[in-house]
Amino acid sequence: MKPPKENPVLWNINGYQLQINHPNKLYWPEDKISKLALLTYYKEMAATLLPYFKNRPVTLHYFPRGIHNFSFYRRNFDQKTNSPIQTVDYQEVSQDKTIQLPLIHTEEGLLWLVSKGCIEFHLWSAKAIDFLHPDMAIFDLDIGNNTPFNKVLKAALVTRDYLKKQGIVVYPKTTGGTGIHLYVPIKPIYDFKTVRMWVKSVGGRLSKMYPELVTTEKSGRKTHQGNRVTIDYSQNSIGRNTAAPYTVRAYRLAPVSTPLHWYEVEKGGFKPTDFNLKNLPARIAKEGDLFEGTLKNQQQLPVE
DNA sequence: GGCCGGC
DNA sequence: GCCGGCCAACGCTTT
DNA sequence: AAAGCG
Ligand SMILES: [Mn+2]
Ligand SMILES: [Mn+2]
Distance in Å, residue A75 CA to nucleotide C8 C1': 7
Residue A118 sits in a domain of what CATH number?
3.90.920.10
Residues 4-23 of chain A with CB under 7 A from strand B are 21-22
CA A193 → CA A141, A188, A234, A235, distances in Å? 19, 13, 9, 11
pTM score, two decimals? 0.97
- Quick one: A141 and A272 in the same domain? yes
Residue A1 has pLDDT above 70, yes or no: no
Distance in Å, residue A65 CA to nucleotide B1 C1': 9
- Quick one: A154 and A32 in the same domain? no
Q: What is the mean pLDDT of residues A245-258?
A: 98
Residue A82 has pLDDT above 80, yes or no: no
Q: What is the DSSP string of A153-215?
A: HHHHHHHHHHHHTTT---EEEE-SSSSEEEEEEB-TTS-HHHHHHHHHHHHHHHHHH-TTTEE
Residue A147 has pLDDT above 80, yes or no: yes
- Quick one: A195 and A234 in the same domain? yes
Question: pLDDT value at position A79?
Answer: 77
Last residue of a domain, one of A124, A146, A175: A124
Residue A301 lies in a domain: no
Residue A110 lies in a domain: yes
Question: pLDDT value at position A222?
Answer: 41
Q: Name residues with Cβ closer than 5 Å to ligand 1, which is an ion.
A: A 140, 142, 179
Residue A17 has pLDDT above 60, yes or no: yes
Question: pLDDT value at position A59?
Answer: 98
Q: What is the mean pLDDT of residues A73-79?
A: 92
Residue A1 lies in a domain: no
Question: pLDDT value at position A224?
Answer: 47
Give the confidence band of A225 by pLDDT, cuts at 50, 70, 90.
low
Q: How far apart are CA A53 and CA A241, in angstroms?
A: 12
- Average pLDDT score over chain A: 95
Q: How far apart are CA A90 and CA A97, in angstroms?
A: 8
Give the distance (Å) from ligand 1 centre to CA of residue A116. Answer: 26
Q: What is the mean pLDDT of residues A170-178?
A: 98
Residues 168-197 of chain A with CB under 7 A from strand C are 192-193, 196
Q: How far apart are CA A141 and CA A180, in angstroms?
A: 5
Number of domains in chain A: 2
Nearest to A203 by CA among A264, A148, A299, A137: A137
Q: What is the mean pLDDT of residues A24-30?
A: 98
- Quick one: A155 and A101 in the same domain? no
Q: What is the mean pLDDT of residues A238-250?
A: 98
Residue A40 lies in a domain: yes
The angle, 0 to 180 degrees and rounded to 10, between the axes of the packed helices A107-115 and A35-53 is: 140
pLDDT above 70 as % of chain A: 96
- Quick one: A178 and A73 in the same domain? no
- Quick one: A72 and A106 in the same domain? yes
Look up the ipTM and state it: 0.96
Q: What is the mean pLDDT of residues A134-146?
A: 96
CA A6 → CA A10, A21, A63, A167, distances in Å? 13, 8, 19, 56
Distance in Å, residue A227 CA to nucleotide B6 C1': 52
Question: pLDDT value at position A301?
Answer: 98
CA A218 → CA A150, A175, A205, A228, A232, distances in Å? 20, 18, 16, 10, 8
Q: What is the mean pLDDT of residues A4-26?
A: 94
Distance in Å, residue A272 CA to nucleotide C8 C1': 26
Give the confidence band of A189 by pLDDT, cuts at 50, 70, 90.
very high
Residue A4 lies in a domain: no
Question: pLDDT value at position A6?
Answer: 87
